[in-house]
Chains A and B, each alone.
Chain A
């Protein structure tokens, strides 16, 4: 009997794989397989139905001559930078505010700020369509109170993207805020006490204690926000349909148009692959950069 039993090592191996099997299956079947197929299809002419025809690097060449695609790449970068520069600091500010002990009803406010995150994008977009409406919108009304002339938000090519960014910040800041809150609460009090003894004021404490000790959290937020922002689609799809004058046509929206409206699935795949490459490069760059500013205490 004993000899027929599996060796301990083999048993460990078997059980290990059995336990990770569901996750591995999901990964290979739903992530790796489509990704590899997408990469292969990016070298083909395919309408989405029937058999793909191999056409070498024609899609990739076309992509580098397609000024609509360039516009989409630029729009996506514009959006991402907009979110990173305004949304992330705002989330930190809110997190610090809601981390104050003296604030009454902190939990209530935390819930309020998180509410947009779990709201449906379609409902949110409808709401913002109204908020951004040029003549009767609330946003223009408040701008008018401080003397800023009417902005034709979603109909003006210069203002459509800022309008989209505004909405996305409102929608997504709560999520980053919660993560910042967790990061803030992880900073041991003793550092602040030590700083106080050394005569640090509020700004010093923020600059030399909070920011460095929070940097792993900030790093995480910057990476995830960047990846999310690069994949922006729903807002453009529901709110502006890529317009006006392509001002809100983002990469994923353009991929969608090519794949499902114009029957250029192969071409859409190569655009999606380029997006993947951009994301990998941007993440690698961040990883290289983090050595200079992320501090693991």
Chain B
């Protein structure tokens, strides 16, 4: 009996010790969002990383609910070593002191080449005062118009790209073709109400005026919102709210029930097997040209136990080789210009000309960040609900939203 017990104890200890000794010297974790497809791709990048750094094991975490998971892991003192970070969220996570200052690593690395990144991408993850880097942009994406080439040809209309080339792609021109294409149960354009953020700046609104100043009760802002809502309320060229809920605008385009679709460039890969001819064009413009940029970076946790190994991973994934791997997947635009303009990216779906979106970057003036991001965004969206339903005008609804925003911004 006693012998048996000793044996069991020894066995347990042995197993425990064995599990500690592994072929890897260091084990770090990488937390990501996205679907199973993206995870498979990331596994591919990690495999390439391990060819260069065989002694660093990377565990991938892909939780169902990203932000609560990240926060609870940080609160527990066991954050993932490397993780995705959006630029609006960055402000808060940096303010809470959860991110590692990467500037010394960048300074010590002569091959990092900051100039290779698209302008603005690195500065989005800098500390405003010291200018130190707290995250490295991995990729970005922007909003575009997808259009069904066959439908344009059938209607005898010039394509959006041609119209843009001829300088005739204003809201009016856009609306005009949308009206011509709306017939027989097919809408001229499909878009989600949640994508309103592209319109107010096109109408000339300068709505984010500072880290604590968000102004939405201006005529320009209202004009942009009203244009968006009127696409279905007044002109009936786009599916209204209940139709959007019934069939997502994305599916509507894919099923040829809409001739145009406004969305991020990232949709392109899921459309690549559609059985009709489609292409991508820039967004229409009003007073100015504008597009929104979505941007994601890799950050390292301040409490990471292996910051050096974590940096090596970040450096690899945002380095030329890592970016080339990512470019081939085609979901987003690489953050390094040398890669974005190289064949590894331009050859992806080259017949759709999606790499042209690279040139849209200058129309994004600057990254819009402000305090209380989530709450302010909720306040605006809540107010706009009545606009989308046609119960209030944009100007009326935004007045209420402004009061709420001012209230939120007074809080520390």
Contact = CB atoms under 8 A, between A and B. Distances in A.
Contact of A135 (B74, B242, B375): B242
Contact of A245 (B68, B243, B372, B386): B386
A47 B246 contact: no
Interface stretch (B92-100, B335-343, B361-369): B92-100
Contact of B242 (A49, A134, A257): A134
Interface stretch (A170-178, A260-268, A276-284): A260-268
Nearest to A152: B242
Given A135-B246, A243-B385, A260-B71, A50 B378 contact: no
Contacts of B97: 49-50
Interface in A226-280: 243-246, 256-257, 259-263
A246 B242 contact: no
Contacts of B386: 245
| Size bin of chain A's contact surface | 20 to 34
Contacts of A244: 385, 389
Contacts of B389: 155, 244
A18 to B, nearest CB: 19
| Size bin of chain B's contact surface | 20 to 34
A215 interface: no
Q: Determine the main DSSP class of A at the interface with B.
A: loop
A263 B70 CA distance: 13
Nearest to A244: B385
A259 B67 CA distance: 11
Contacts of A154: 245
Given A49-B98, A155-B241, A263-B92, A133 B246 contact: yes
Nearest to B240: A155
Contacts of A48: 71, 75
B385 A245 contact: yes
B382 interface: yes
B374 interface: yes
Contact of B378 (A257, A260, A263): A257
B143 to A, nearest CB: 22
Of B75, B98, B386, the most chain A CB neighbours within 10 A belong to: B75
Interface string B372-403: 10110010001001100100000000000000
Of B68, B71, B98, the most chain A CB neighbours within 10 A belong to: B71
Contacts of B382: 243, 245-246
A257 B67 CA distance: 11
Interface in A133-176: 133-136, 152, 154-155
Interface in B233-263: 241-243, 245-246
A157 to B, nearest CB: 9
A235 B19 CA distance: 42
A49 B96 contact: yes
A136 B68 contact: no
A155 B245 CA distance: 8
Interface of A: 47-50, 133-136, 152, 154-155, 243-246, 256-257, 259-263
Interface of B: 67-68, 71, 74-75, 92, 96-98, 241-243, 245-246, 372, 374-375, 378, 382, 385-386, 389
30 contacts: A49-B74, A49-B96, A49-B97, A49-B98, A50-B97, A133-B245, A134-B245, A134-B246, A135-B242, A152-B242, A154-B245, A155-B245, A155-B389, A244-B385, A244-B389, A245-B382, A245-B386, A256-B68, A257-B378, A260-B67, A260-B68, A260-B71, A261-B67, A261-B374, A261-B375, A261-B378, A262-B374, A262-B375, A262-B378, A263-B374
Nearest first, the 3 A-B pairs at minimum CB distance are: A260-B68, A261-B374, A262-B375
Given A133-B246, A244-B389, 19 more contacts: A49-B74, A49-B75, A49-B97, A50-B96, A133-B245, A135-B242, A135-B243, A136-B246, A155-B242, A155-B245, A155-B389, A244-B385, A245-B385, A259-B68, A260-B67, A261-B67, A261-B374, A262-B372, A262-B375
